[in-house]
Structure 1
Amino acid sequence: MHLHIKQADIGYHTNLISKAEAGLNLGEVCLLIGNNGVGKTTLIKSILNQIPLLKGQISIHQKNITSFSVKETAENIAVVFSKSVIPQNYTVEDLISLGKYIYYPFYFELKKEDRQEVSGIIKELNLLQYKDTLLKNLSDGNLQKAFIGRALAQNSPVIILDEPTTHLDEENKIIILKTLRRLAKEQNKLILFSSHDWRLAKEFADKMWYIKEGRLYSGIVEDILIQHRELTEISLFEVNRKFIPPMITAPSLHKEMLYSLLQKNFQKDLSSLHFEFHNEFWLISGTNEAYKYESFEEILNFIQNLH
């Protein structure tokens, strides 16, 4: 086990997470998930030895992290926080190149092979056209990718990312997550990243760490999702008390969309109706006859004209 958390109490003065027990091996991708304020970032900072444990131990390659020097920590762990300080007058290439300077005094020039590797990372992250662009002129998404590029250039066996896809569109999220998984498998990296976007992230992670009510649950992604159904259930928010919903038989996303449409537009009892989704159309029954509609707009018009 390359990263091992052993009976750790994690927090500042009081426990956010109690008796945490978890471990990850090289070559694994792990998704860290939990509601805001439960301790995800605190856990990451504890692994980096930026916050001392209240109890227990965290080790990297069987060595207690409290014994690491700053340089040893950087050689073992590369990190990207969701809010990073933007170096003034740095370009994308400058920032990604910074990942190499943990191996040299800062005044040294990078070797040819280092520069080639930096160029490869820039190309892989689809940042080639922004190579010489100042960081302050980048979009949030491209800036985030540049910081991830710096972590990749560091070549540490462990890469930890705090909300790495927060500002990215779907295409760039997939680019980042595919890159992280490829690195884990091809270069034997241990990747730990936090995210709220579990539906997308779960497709790329082997393990999941889930923080809930002061406990850290860890295991194979699918096991954790099955054991904690609140992670996969669509939330049907009740904002209209006069609305009485119909029966809806549909996949979770379609069910959520229909529920949202009906409850924000109607303050009446629709419980006599049954909406059933069939691939490309909705079948509505409960009146004198059944009706078939393909769009939500058609459904909206139908309910508006229903007496």
Structure 2
Amino acid sequence: MFLEIKNTTIGYQKPLISEVNASLDFGDICLLIGNNGVGKTTLIKSILNQISLINGEILINKKQNNQLSNKEIAEQIAVVFSKSQIPANYTTEDLISLGKFIHLPYYYQLEKEDTQEVNHIISQLKLDEYKNTLLQKLSDGNLQKAFIGRALAQNSPMIILDEPTTHLDEDNKIIILKLLRDLAKKHNKIILFSSHDWRLAKEFADKIWFVNNGILQEGLAEDILLDNDLLTNPRLFIINENFVSPEINAPFLEKEMLYSALQKNFKKDLSGIKINFQDKFWEVNYLHFTDKCHTLEEILKIIKKHLQ
């Protein structure tokens, strides 16, 4: 195993995640998932030896990470944090090229093949038109892609990305995730990325590290999803504690959307109303009335009319 975490407790003065046992090897794509504040970034920094372990050990390529220099860790693991310092007067090309100097002296002149690889990464990330643009002038999304490009140019066996898709729209999110999966499967890299979006697991991740209640669960993505209903059945916010829902018979998503609309618009007890969804029609039943409609907005109008 390239990365091994053995009986490890991580945190600062107090433990955030206890008794962690997990590992990743070449070709693995792992989603690190959990709510804000549970310790995802702290775990990443612990792997990189930026934070000391409370106990246990972490091995990178069979060597304890606290015995490796920063340069040695950087040669093994490329990192993209969600918040990175922007180098002054650097263009997109400059930043991505910087990844090459992890393995070279700062005064070294890039070879032709290095420059070609940088240009290839720029094209893969669809940043060609921003190649010579100063980083300060890039949008948040393109800046994020440029930092990911630097990690790709580093050509390390493992890449860790902390919330890499935060500033990306759906199209660019897919571009990045497909590129990362291609790296793992065709070039035998290890990818560990954190996110709040569990949907990414089903399409892009082989494994999940799920941090919940101070414990890290690890395993095949589908196994972890099946074992944790809160991942596959997220609930919308409850903003009206006095709201009493009608009886709703509908598929999960439609039911959640209707519930959301009703609790924002009614403080009354709606338990006497029955609402059914079938064949793209909504049917609202109240007392002796039955109304059919197509949209949630129409349902709100029907209920308001009957409750006047």
TM-score grouping bracket, smaller chain normalisation: over 0.9
Letter in 1 for 2:280: E
Aligned length: 307
Q: CA RMSD in A?
A: 1.5
The answer to whether the 8 A contact 1:243-1:266 is kept is: yes
**Match of residue 113 from structure 1:** 113
Counterpart mapping for 1:183-262 below 5 A: 183-262=183-262
The answer to whether the 8 A contact 1:177-1:201 is kept is: no
The answer to whether the 8 A contact 1:164-1:194 is kept is: yes
The answer to whether the 8 A contact 1:9-1:18 is kept is: yes
Distance 1:257 1:200 in 2: 22
Distance 2:277 2:142 in 1: 39
Single out whichever of 237-246 and 25-34 deviates more from structure 2. Answer: 237-246
**Match of residue 64 from structure 2:** 64
For structure 1, list consecutive stretches of 5 or more residues without a partner in the other structure.
none
The answer to whether the 8 A contact 1:161-1:192 is kept is: yes
Distance 1:150 1:280 in 2: 48
The answer to whether the 8 A contact 1:31-1:202 is kept is: no
Matched, 1:182 2:190: no
Counterpart mapping for 1:268-287 below 5 A: 268-278=268-278, 280-287=280-287
Counterpart mapping for 1:57-96 below 5 A: 57-96=57-96
Matched, 1:266 2:257: no
Distance 2:264 2:218 in 1: 38
Single out whichever of 75-84 and 290-299 deviates more from structure 2. Answer: 290-299
Shift of 1:235: 1.5
SS at match of 1:262: helix
Cα-to-partner distance string for 1:67-92 (whole Å, 9 max, x where unaligned): 22222211110000000000011010
Runs of 4+ in 1 over 6 A off after TM superposition: none
Letter in 2 for 1:303: I
The answer to whether the 8 A contact 1:99-1:152 is kept is: yes
Distance 1:149 1:195, change over 3 A: same
The answer to whether the 8 A contact 2:8-2:56 is kept is: yes
Relative to the length of structure 1, the TM-score reads 0.95
Single out whichever of 273-282 and 48-57 deviates more from structure 2. Answer: 273-282
Distance 1:115 1:279, change over 3 A: farther
The answer to whether the 8 A contact 2:31-2:208 is kept is: yes
Relative to the length of structure 2, the TM-score reads 0.95
Matched, 1:11 2:29: no
Cα-to-partner distance string for 1:131-157 (whole Å, 9 max, x where unaligned): 111100011111001000000110011
**Match of residue 100 from structure 2:** 100
Cα-to-partner distance string for 1:166-213 (whole Å, 9 max, x where unaligned): 111111111111111111111111100000111234421110001111
**Match of residue 133 from structure 2:** 133
Letter in 1 for 2:265: N
Identity %: 62
